[in-house]
Structure 1
Amino acid sequence: MPPRTDFPPVRACLFDMDGLLLDTEDIYTKCVNVILDRYGKPNLPWSVKARLQGRPGPEANAIFHNWAQLPIRPEQYSADLSAIQAEQFPSSQPLPGVVRLLADLGRTRYWAAKRGDGKQTTTTTTPTTTKPNHVHIALATSSHSRNFHLKTAHLTSLFSVFSAPRRVLGDDPRIPAGRGKPHPDIFLLALRTINESLPADEPPIRPEECLVFEDSVPGVEAGRRAGMRVIWCPHPMLVREYAGREGEVLAGRIGEAGDGADPSQVGEVDDGWAEYLPSLESFSYEKYGIVVPPIEVESEECMKDRVEDAEVVIHAE
């Protein structure tokens, strides 16, 4: 079957955080290795780390402890690790392309704002056959509330583009126990938070109109199981771990959800629903039907009701 090419324009972008927006994956590894070194254990290999990425804390911890065989109770390990992370996470920074991408997507609210003030939309954008639309965004991260705040408290301008109701964290009570990534629940919930806050004249967004941004293999599978398109932008070392299996990763067919998961939810290799990017700097707006207005529109009256988004644009320059 040839890859699908007749996708509708993207109306919503759903973002993972660790290793996708922020450089936290190497920080995670550094923190874990401190404890492993205390007990004479080898550093965390990427073959194990790849299985931890994107998963909720309890599941990731179970996988880690089965491998590490530390001579301490899991509760002690968690306490020690949390203390080290509390020192390290506040140093996290956006990965290449992130600031610009979030600023651009945040600025697409202009299309809705301009229509809302009753005036005709006129811009200096490059001519396009795609109808401009507001691309809604949400955060869907397995990080629990405490770690989320440790990683983002110093980056409030960057994360202000995600309104509070559209931030779905790993300890969100609306996600059933055992249904974190690679299951689709977190992305479906993130989409729900968007649809519940759409204006009355805007139709609900369908899963195939969503684009998931992920770095982890379980996260890619979760996005595919949610019926969404996916951008896989992984750590270079993770790419090495899955060399030769990239097609399976993009199809969500690595099997991270286990034998009991619905096999009809995943895709097929080279089906056109997902792509690999080495960096978010190379993301193509045109490919996904996204039209970004020029930065000059920030000075228009209809845009002045969202000061926090303007701050994101300032940092993007």
Structure 2
Amino acid sequence: MTHPVAVKACLFDMDGLLINTEDIYTETLNEMLAEFQKGPLTWDVKIQLQGLPGPEAGKKVIEYYELPITLDEYDKKNVALQSLKWGTCKFLPGALNLLKYLKSKGIPISLCTSSNKSKFNGKTSHLTEGFDLFDAIVTGDDARIPKGRGKPYPDVWQVGLKELNEKFHTDIKSDECIVFEDGIPGVKSAKAFGAHVIWVPHPEAYTVLGDTEALLAGKGELLSSLEKLQKNKYGL
């Protein structure tokens, strides 16, 4: 099946899709949970956290594991543990090659992440070779995204596409875009945005994804890796 509309732009999630930060999140959260004799984090819980803005994910963890700390304390502990490991972030298979390929073809690409600016910088400052390829970068704390409108709402993609259209003086529509995602909230947000979704879940997430076909509802496809993307299928 070919994509019915010629793809004019590609929009990317970051964590767990382009770089291995989902594994780092699991590792650091398990360290924190162990402090309270809780955990470990399992994928049935983790799947609910993926793609959420930090405060929302934090609330879920505190409630689920009944942690005796405030959201602020949780955040401070998290930041301290994570910042020690962001330097180990690396591109996942196929990610960097795909970005380079799209750039070489002149296809506008935007990064749309739920991570705030400081976390984004921590995760990517040593990976400039890939992240300098993006035509637009939108972080979760962007002032143009109203509070409480993180994924599964489509706002982050709308801002990312708006930036591309402004930069290239184009009028690309959401249904002329591919959104690349790894998490369920992200897939829902991409569908709400109106794009075609390429969904690349974490290899360990498959047992808890539920009915993937029903979630995609004919608006995208599930891949085991970005390396498996058939570019010609989308006219890329």
Q: TM-score range by the shorter chain?
A: over 0.9
What RMSD in Å do the two structures reach over aligned CA positions? Answer: 1.2
Shift, 1:5, TM fit = 5.2
- Superposed, which structure 2 residues align to 1:196-211 within 5 Å? 196-199=166-169, 203-211=170-178
Q: Which runs of 5+ in 1 are unaligned?
A: 110-134, 251-268, 291-317
Residue of structure 1 in register with 2:231 after alignment: 285
Secondary structure of the 1:20 match is coil
Structure 1 residues 170 and 6: alpha-carbon distance in aligned structure 2, compared to 1, 3 A threshold: closer
Shift, 1:9, TM fit = 1.2
Shift, 1:137, TM fit = 0.3
- Take 1:173 and 1:73, find their aligned partners in 2: how far apart are those partners? 25
Residue of structure 2 in register with 1:246 after alignment: 212
- Superposed, which structure 2 residues align to 1:122-141 within 5 Å? 135-141=107-113
- Take 2:176 and 2:142, find their aligned partners in 1: how far apart are those partners? 24
Letter in 1 for 2:128: T
Partner of residue 12 from structure 2, selected from 9, 15, 18: 15
- Take 2:149 and 2:74, find their aligned partners in 1: how far apart are those partners? 24
Structure 1 residues 7 and 29: alpha-carbon distance in aligned structure 2, compared to 1, 3 A threshold: same
Shift, 1:248, TM fit = 2.3
2:106 is aligned with 1:105: no
2:111 is aligned with 1:144: no
Q: Which runs of 4+ in 1 moved over 3 A?
A: none
- Take 2:14 and 2:3, find their aligned partners in 1: how far apart are those partners? 29
- Any conservation in 2 of the 1:97–1:279 contact (CA below 8 Å)? yes
Q: Which runs of 5+ in 2 are unaligned?
A: none
Query: 1:64-123 CA distances to partner (integer Å, 9 max, x unpaired)?
Result: 1110111222221211110010001111000000111011001012xxxxxxxxxxxxxx
- Superposed, which structure 2 residues align to 1:72-111 within 5 Å? 72-109=69-106
2:137 is aligned with 1:179: no
Partner of residue 40 from structure 1, selected from 37, 40, 48: 37
- Take 2:191 and 2:3, find their aligned partners in 1: how far apart are those partners? 17
Residue of structure 2 in register with 1:120 after alignment: none
Letter in 1 for 2:103: G
Secondary structure of the 2:145 match is coil
Shift, 1:61, TM fit = 1.2
Structure 1 vs Structure 2: percent identity of aligned residues? 43
Instruction: Name which one, 1 or 2, has greater alpha-carbon Rg.
Output: 1
2:211 is aligned with 1:274: no
Residue of structure 2 in register with 1:234 after alignment: 201
Q: Provide TM-score, normalisation by structure 2.
A: 0.97
Shift, 1:183, TM fit = 0.5
Report how many aligned residue pairs link the two structures: 236
Residue of structure 1 in register with 2:52 after alignment: 55
- Take 1:161 and 1:190, find their aligned partners in 2: how far apart are those partners? 15
Secondary structure of the 1:204 match is coil
